[in-house]
Amino acid sequence: MLRQYWQPAALTEELNDDRPVVPVTLMNEELVLFRDEQGDLGLIGRPCPHRGVDLSFGRLEDGGLRCPFHGWLFDVSGRCLETPAEPATSEFCSRVRNLSYPVREHNGIVWAYLGEGEPPDLPGLDSFVAPRSHVFAFKGMWNCNWLQSHEVGIDPAHAQFLHRVLDNDSEEYGQQFRDLVADTGMTMTKLMREASAPTIEAEPMPYGFRLRTTRNVRDQFTHVRLSNCIFPNAITIAMSREMSITQWHVPIDDRRSYWYSVFVSYGAEVDGRTMRDQRISQVTLGDYRPRNGRFNNWGFDPQEQRTSSYTGMGRDINVHDQWAVESQGEIYDRRREHLSPSDVGIRMHRRMFLAAAEDPSADRLVGRNTRVEGPIAIDAVTTGDDFDTAWRELETIRRATSSWAPPISFE
Ligand code: FES
Ligand SMILES: [Fe+2]
C-alpha cells in the first residue's frame, strides 16, 4: 500500500557531483540511484542481473552505470545497453532487463514510485509548491518500524512531557514560537506545562486527517495547534509563525526507517547552510545514522534528568522523539499497549491504515489521487472560544503576506 504513493528515496545532496551513485534500500528492496552523464536520474536494482554483484560500485560511463564484474551497462530505465564479454554478434543483452522505478527530484529530495501502474502526480503540498529558496530538506535513520516513527508525530499529547525543559524560563524548547507566546508572557515549555492535558480532536480530511489540539491556560487564553496526518506516512506540524515542517517516515525495511523532513518558510528564505550544520551535528553522513541511540542509552544522564530536562537526553527534541520510538524495540507488540483517549490520532490512523491495507487499489486509497493543498499547520493563541476563527485568521494573513503561498480552502 505504501508503494502506491510517491516516497522519498534520497536527499539530492547525497548525489554528489563527483560520482552521483547512491545505494538505496527502500521497502526492503536493494536499489541504486544514479545520475547519468546526461543528467537523468535512474533508480534500478542494485544486484547486477548477471551474477548479482553490487551495482552501487559501478562505473558511471557511456550513458549508464556499468557493472565492474563483466562490464554490463544499464541505463536509467534498467535497459541493458551492452554485454561486452559476449561476442560482438550476440543479442543477449536485448533480453536482459534490470528493475527500475520512476523517480523525480524536487526541493532537495529524490522521490520514487514503487507502486503499480502509472504514478500519480506529485503532491500539491506546500513543501512541493514552495520555491527551493524557501525549503530545507534533511533526513535521519531510526532503528524501528516506520509506523512507530510515524505515530510519534500524530500524538500531540507528548510534547509537554517528552520535550519539557525543567527551567521554566528557558526558551530552548519552542523558542521559534517566541513571537506568539510573547503575547501571553510565557515560554512554550511553560505554557505546555501549565496546560498539560490538552483537548485533541481528529477530523478526517481528503488527504488523511487534521488534528486540533487546544490547551486552556489558567482560564486566561487558549493555545490552538493545528497539525495533520498526510496519509499514509507523512505529517505536517507548525514550527513557528513562519515555518512548518512536513515529515515522511519511510521503511528501509521492517525494522529500520528514515524520517525525511522538509522545513517550509512562508516568510523569508531559509538559511539552509545553518540549518544543515545543526542537523549534521546529530548524524553520521553516509547513511544518516544518529550519533545517539540504544548503544549509548540515547545519551541519558540521570543528573540532567533531575535538574534540566524531562528526558535527561539533552535539548535536541529529535533525540527525544528517537528515544520514544526506538526504546519500544524495533517492532512493538501492540497487543501489550493501552491506547488512551488522547491517542485519538493514532487510533484514527490505524483504522485508515488497516482499511487501506485490506484494499490497496490505487483509486480507493486516501489522498492518492487528490490534489492536496497546504495542509495547514499553525499555532494560534486566542482569548475567545472560537478556536477555528483564531487559526483561520492567522493562516489567511500568513498566506496573503507570503511571497509564494497560494490561498487555501479551510474545509
Ligand atoms: S555480474 Fe555484473 S556483469 Fe557480470
Ligand atoms: Fe516530539
Domain of residue 344, CATH code: 3.90.380
Cα–Cα distances (Å) from 313 to 226, 298, 389, in that order, read 27, 7, 38
Angle between helices 344-358 and 146-153 (to 10 degrees): 140
> Is 54 inside a domain boundary?
yes
Question: What does the pLDDT read at residue 128?
Answer: 97
Does residue 55 sit within a domain? yes
pLDDT of residue 171: 57
The CB density around residue 220, as the number of other CB atoms within 10 Å, is: 11
169 and 97 in one domain?
A: no
25 and 57 housed in the same domain: yes
CA 82–ligand 1 middle distance (angstroms): 11
**pLDDT score for 180:** 58
pLDDT at 411: 75
d(CA 295, CA 355): 37
Per-residue confidence (pLDDT) for residue 256, from 0 to 100:
98
Q: Examine the fold and report which residue of 77, 112, 147 is the final residue of a domain before the chain moves on.
A: 112
Most distant CA pair in the chain, distance: 85
The last residue of one of the domains, among 112, 136, 162, is 112
In the three-class reduction of DSSP (H, G, I as helix; E, B as strand; rest coil), residue 265 is classed as strand
Q: How far apart are CA 206 and CA 231, in angstroms?
A: 9
State whether 231 and 98 are in the same domain. Answer: no
Residues 206 and 311 in one domain: yes
Separation between Cα atoms, residue 46 and residue 39, nearest integer Å: 20
Q: Do residues 31 and 151 both lie within one domain?
A: no
Distance (angstroms) between ligand 2 centre and the Cα of 315 equals 12
Number of the ligand closest to the Cα of 154: 2
Tell me what percent of the chain is helix, strand and coil, each rounded to the nearest 5. 30, 30, 40
Given a contact cutoff of 8 angstroms between Cβ atoms, the answer to whether 234 and 122 are in contact is no
134 and 108 in a common domain: no
Q: Tell me, what amino acid is at 74? A: F
The pLDDT of residue 188 is: 79
Nearest-CA residue for atom 1 of ligand 1: 51
CA distance 85 to 70: 6
* CA of residue 309 relative to chain centroid, distance: 26
Which atom, in ligand 1's list, is nearest to the CA of 67?
Answer: 2
Please tell me whether residues 217 and 258 are part of one structural domain: yes
With CA atoms as reference, report the closest residue to 67 among 43, 92, 79, 50: 50
Kindly state the cell numbers that stand for 173: 524548547
State whether 143 and 81 are in the same domain: no
- Reduced to 3 states (helix: H, G, I; strand: E, B; else coil), residue 409 is coil
Ligand nearest to the CA of 158: 2
pLDDT confidence of residue 119: 96
**Which CATH number do you get for residue 107?**
2.102.10.10
In a domain, 119, yes or no: no
**pTM, 2 dp:** 0.95
Probe target for ligand 1 pocket from 67, 81, 93, with the most ligand atoms within 8 Å of CB: 67
What single-letter DSSP state applies at residue 122?
A: P
The SS3 assignment for 157 reads helix
Burial class of 264 by CB neighbour count within 10 A (0 to 12, 13 to 18, 19+): buried
pLDDT of residue 186: 80
Tell me if 74 CB under 6 Å of ligand 1: no
Spacing, Cα 75 to ligand 1 middle (Å): 15
Residue 253 Cα to ligand 1 midpoint, Å, equals 26
Domain assignment of residue 15, given as a range: 2-112
117 lies in a domain? no
353 and 378 fall within a common domain: yes
Q: Is residue 104 part of a domain?
A: yes
Question: What does the alpha-carbon distance between residue 306 and residue 213 come to, in Å, rounded to a whole number?
Answer: 29
Instruction: Copy the grid coordinates of residue 219.
Output: 482560564
CA–CA distance, 298 with 29 (Å, rounded to integer): 29
Whether 410 is covered by a domain: the verdict is no
Does ligand 1 come within 6 angstroms of the Cβ of 59? no
Neighbouring residues of the ion ligand 2, judged by CB less than 5 Å: 321
Is the distance from the beta carbon of residue 70 to the nearest atom of ligand 1 less than 6 Å?
Answer: yes
289, part of any domain: yes
Domain finish residue from 112, 146, 177:
112
Alpha carbon separation from 70 to 44, 145, 205, 409 (Å, rounded): 18, 37, 53, 57
Residues 224, 83, single domain; the answer is no
Note down pLDDT in tens along the chain; length 411 residues: 999 999 999 999 999 889 999 999 999 999 999 999 999 999 999 999 999 999 999 999 999 999 999 999 999 999 999 999 999 999 999 999 999 999 999 999 999 999 999 999 999 999 999 999 999 999 999 999 999 999 999 999 999 899 988 876 665 555 555 555 666 778 777 888 888 899 999 999 999 999 999 999 989 899 999 999 999 999 999 988 899 999 999 999 999 999 999 999 999 999 999 999 988 888 887 899 999 999 999 999 999 999 999 999 998 999 999 999 999 999 999 999 999 999 999 999 999 999 999 999 988 999 999 888 999 999 999 999 999 999 999 999 999 999 999 999 887
Same domain, 174 and 320: yes
Q: 155 lies in a domain?
A: yes
Same domain flag for 171 and 108:
no
- Number of domains making up the chain: 2
Whether residue 102 is preceded by a cis peptide bond, meaning omega within 30 degrees of 0, is no
